[in-house]
Structure 1
Amino acid sequence: MDDFEKAIGFSLPRDYRDFLIHKNGGVFSNALINPEKPGELLIDCLFGLGLPDQLSLQFWYDELKNDIPSNSLIVGSDAGGGFLLLCIEEDSSPVYYYDHSYLFQSSNDDQNTYLISKSFSELLMQLTRTNVA
């Protein structure tokens, strides 16, 4: 964990760090969340450390680090190919839906990220209310 934080250049929030230590990612079945914007999202996985490329935090960080804000991390994906973006800010760590492929009609070059939870813990609570595989 410390090596990963050193490689990305910032510390992870405690709730997300604890999740990685205890679960190190996860695959979901029917994990539907319904934020106001962009609408229904079917979350299919949360990434972890030391996993195969498509499930790896390091892989997605390396792949998209130039497309996301600094101190941010792609932590999961939905069934439509969008991503969950954890943004580490001074006093909070909100999670956004990053619609990089403009799946939703409301997405465009100026707006393709949507706040879906105030923290990783809040997102995890939303996900665990649904069926976890």
Structure 2
Amino acid sequence: MPTDGRAETGVEFVSEEGPVSVHELNELERRLGVELPSDYRSFLLRRNGGRVHDNDLATPEGEEIGIAVVSFLSLGSEGGDSMDEFLGVYSGRYPEELLPVAEAAGGNLILIRVEEGREGEIYFWDHEQEGDEEPVWENLTLLAPSFDQFMEALVPYVD
């Protein structure tokens, strides 16, 4: 793991939780009845969530698109940035094939698809466009085909 607070992409982490164990990951998968994509599992084993400095998501051509991560959710912690907290607050508001992995700016979410055959896709969930009664796909935007590719697209915000 980098010791200067930077992720593999150059986005700087300003805080992070203690390491998560393989046992904790296996327990989460058992409890949720899903299998986490391997690149996301690796991320959690290296860096169990954490808050990040100002950032933006960039297209493969380098164009910033105005979606920023506030913090990556952590396992085994309590409080505002824990996955359990987000599962409790947001459960039933996004399609069940998805799992929250990060808080985006503006009270939105970054979700990972855990549905077999399409696992690993990363989506932006816009809370202002969510369905009134049931979760909808219309307020979701596909950001990347995998967690690693999503992380590669995060860049420091430049004013």
Do these two structures clear the TM 0.5 threshold for a shared fold by scoring above it?
yes
Question: Match of 1:85, SS?
Answer: strand
Find the aligned partners of 2:90 and 2:73 in 1 and give their Cα distance.
14
Aligned twin of 2:152: 125
1:59 equivalent to 2:85? Answer yes
Flag the 1:41–1:71 CA change in 2: closer, same or farther, 3 A: same
Q: Structure 1 stretches (4+) deviating beyond 6 angstroms?
A: none
Question: Would the aligned equivalents of 2:93 and 2:130 in 1 still touch at CA under 8 Å?
Answer: no
Question: Match of 1:55, SS?
Answer: coil
Query: Over alpha carbons, which structure has the higher Rg?
Result: 2
Find the aligned partners of 1:108 and 1:22 in 2 and give their Cα distance.
33
1:99 equivalent to 2:126? Answer yes
Could you tell me the percent identity over the aligned residues? 26
What letter matches 1:8 in structure 2? L
Contiguous gaps of at least 5 residues in structure 2: 1-24, 60-64
Flag the 1:28–1:7 CA change in 2: closer, same or farther, 3 A: same
Deviations 1:20-49 (A, max 9, x none): 1110012111211146xxx41121111010
Report the RMSD for the aligned CA atoms in angstroms. Answer: 1.9
Q: Which of the residues 32, 40, 59 maps onto 2:56?
A: 32
Question: Would the aligned equivalents of 1:10 and 1:71 in 2 still touch at CA under 8 Å?
Answer: no
Query: Given the two structures, how large is their TM-score scaled by the length of structure 1?
Result: 0.81
Question: Would the aligned equivalents of 1:61 and 1:74 in 2 still touch at CA under 8 Å?
Answer: yes
Contiguous gaps of at least 5 residues in structure 1: none
Find the aligned partners of 1:58 and 1:87 in 2 and give their Cα distance.
17
Aligned residues: 122
